[in-house]
């Protein structure tokens, strides 16, 4: 299925590595001007340069997405640099894995509130564009109970619930809202690569539960993101789509 996003402006909050980077590059390869933000300046600049090669006019901004005012400033800067916003992708995570105060605070600040704040900041621009949409990146952890990552799973479930509520609220404005729940995704420098290199038993345990016998890749999430933001999915809103190679089937 060909994707065509020429002339479209895309903001990816949390887009310097892994899934976010793959999504940003996918949109740029399809002709969109893309802005990305993250905390790490060097990875961010590397991604901006890669985006620029695919589609001139890329933008990047250093932003701590747990900082509410900083989120608003970044979205405003991205809108100005791109000349508008057609598509917003909320990909960042605080990775609050445990059940202590720190894990909950990280997840609520980044996974939940950065999503809400970026959406609110982008809404005026999105409302001016026909066919605009918002896409949240959650996790299959939000679809089942977890004794290992209770806070992380709970905030991802909150993202899915907000997706449906937000879709209902924004439909009268012609704005679609959807969510992707990735399974275990491996990429350079990511959690699962680190576990594999450290011979962590959890890696093999999780891998054994994936019917296809491998971890997913960021590109496999990016391709679904482009579909959900495209004209091909024009009648899809308020949905959470698990993209996990059947990982949920084995539990």
Q: Which of 74, 152, 162, 203 is catalytic?
A: 152
Q: Would you state the pLDDT for residue 189?
A: 87
Band (pLDDT 50/70/90 cuts) for residue 251 is low
The CATH topology of domain 9-186+217-243 is: Rossmann fold (3.40.50)
Q: Would you state the pLDDT for residue 83?
A: 97
Instruction: Tell me which residue of 80, 168, 154, 155 sits closest to 115, measured CA to CA.
Output: 155
Note the Cα 34 to chain centre separation in Å.
14
CA distances from 161 to 48, 70, 165, 238, 239 (A): 32, 25, 6, 9, 10
CA distances from 186 to 50, 117, 151, 216, 250 (A): 21, 28, 21, 6, 19
Q: How would you class 241 by CB atoms within 10 Å of its CB: exposed for 0-12, middle for 13-18, buried for 19 or more? A: middle
Q: Would you state the pLDDT for residue 97?
A: 87
Query: Rounded to an integer, what distance in angstroms lies between the CA atom of residue 208 and that of residue 214?
Result: 8
Is 152 considered catalytic here?
A: yes
Query: Rounded to an integer, what distance in angstroms lies between the CA atom of residue 117 and that of residue 42?
Result: 25
In our burial notation (b when 16+ CB lie closer than 10 A, e otherwise), range 54-73 reads bbeebbbbebbbbbeebbbe
Q: Would you state the pLDDT for residue 250?
A: 78
Query: Rounded to an integer, what distance in angstroms lies between the CA atom of residue 137 and that of residue 228?
Result: 12
% pLDDT > 90, the chain: 95
Q: Would you state the pLDDT for residue 167?
A: 98
Computed over every residue of the chain, the mean pLDDT equals: 96
Could you tell me if 111 and 92 are in contact, meaning their C-beta atoms sit under 8 angstroms apart? yes
Query: Using one digit for the tens of pLDDT, what is the confidence trace for 201-237?
Result: 999 999 999 999 999 999 999 999 999 999 999 999 9
Band (pLDDT 50/70/90 cuts) for residue 1 is low
Query: Rounded to an integer, what distance in angstroms lies between the CA atom of residue 226 and that of residue 230?
Result: 6
For the chain, the structural domain boundaries read 9-186+217-243
Query: Using one digit for the tens of pLDDT, what is the confidence trace for 14-65?
Result: 999 999 999 999 999 999 999 999 999 999 999 999 999 999 999 999 999 9
Q: Would you state the pLDDT for residue 67?
A: 97
């Amino acid at each position: 299925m060909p994707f065509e996003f020429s002339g479209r402006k895309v903001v990816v909050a949390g887009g310097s590595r892994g899934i976010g980077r793959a999504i940003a590059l996918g949109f740029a390869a399809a002709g969109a001007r893309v802005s990305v933000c993250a905390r790490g300046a060097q990875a961010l600049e590397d991604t901006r340069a890669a985006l620029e090669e695919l589609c001139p006019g890329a933008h990047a901004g250093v932003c701590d997405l747990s900082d509410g005012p900083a989120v608003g400033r970044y979205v405003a800067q991205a809108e100005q640099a791109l000349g508008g916003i057609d598509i917003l992708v909320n990909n960042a995570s605080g990775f609050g894995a445990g059940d202590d105060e720190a894990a909950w605070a990280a997840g609520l600040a980044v996974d939940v509130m950065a999503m809400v704040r970026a959406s609110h900041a982008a809404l005026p621009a999105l409302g001016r564009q026909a066919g605009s949409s918002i896409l949240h990146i959650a996790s299959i952890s939000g679809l089942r109970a977890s004794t290992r990552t209770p806070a992380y799973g709970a905030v991802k479930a909150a993202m899915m619930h907000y997706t449906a509520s937000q879709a209902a609220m924004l439909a009268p404005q012609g704005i679609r809202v959807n969510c992707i729940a990735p399974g275990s995704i491996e990429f350079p420098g990511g959690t699962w690569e680190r576990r594999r290199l450290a011979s962590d038993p959890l890696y093999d345990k999780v891998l054994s539960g994936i019917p296809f016998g491998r971890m997913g890749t960021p590109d496999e999430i990016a391709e679904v993101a482009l579909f959900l933001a495209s004209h091909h999915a024009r009648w899809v809103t308020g949905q959470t789509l698990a993209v996990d190679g059947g990982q949920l089937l084995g539990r």
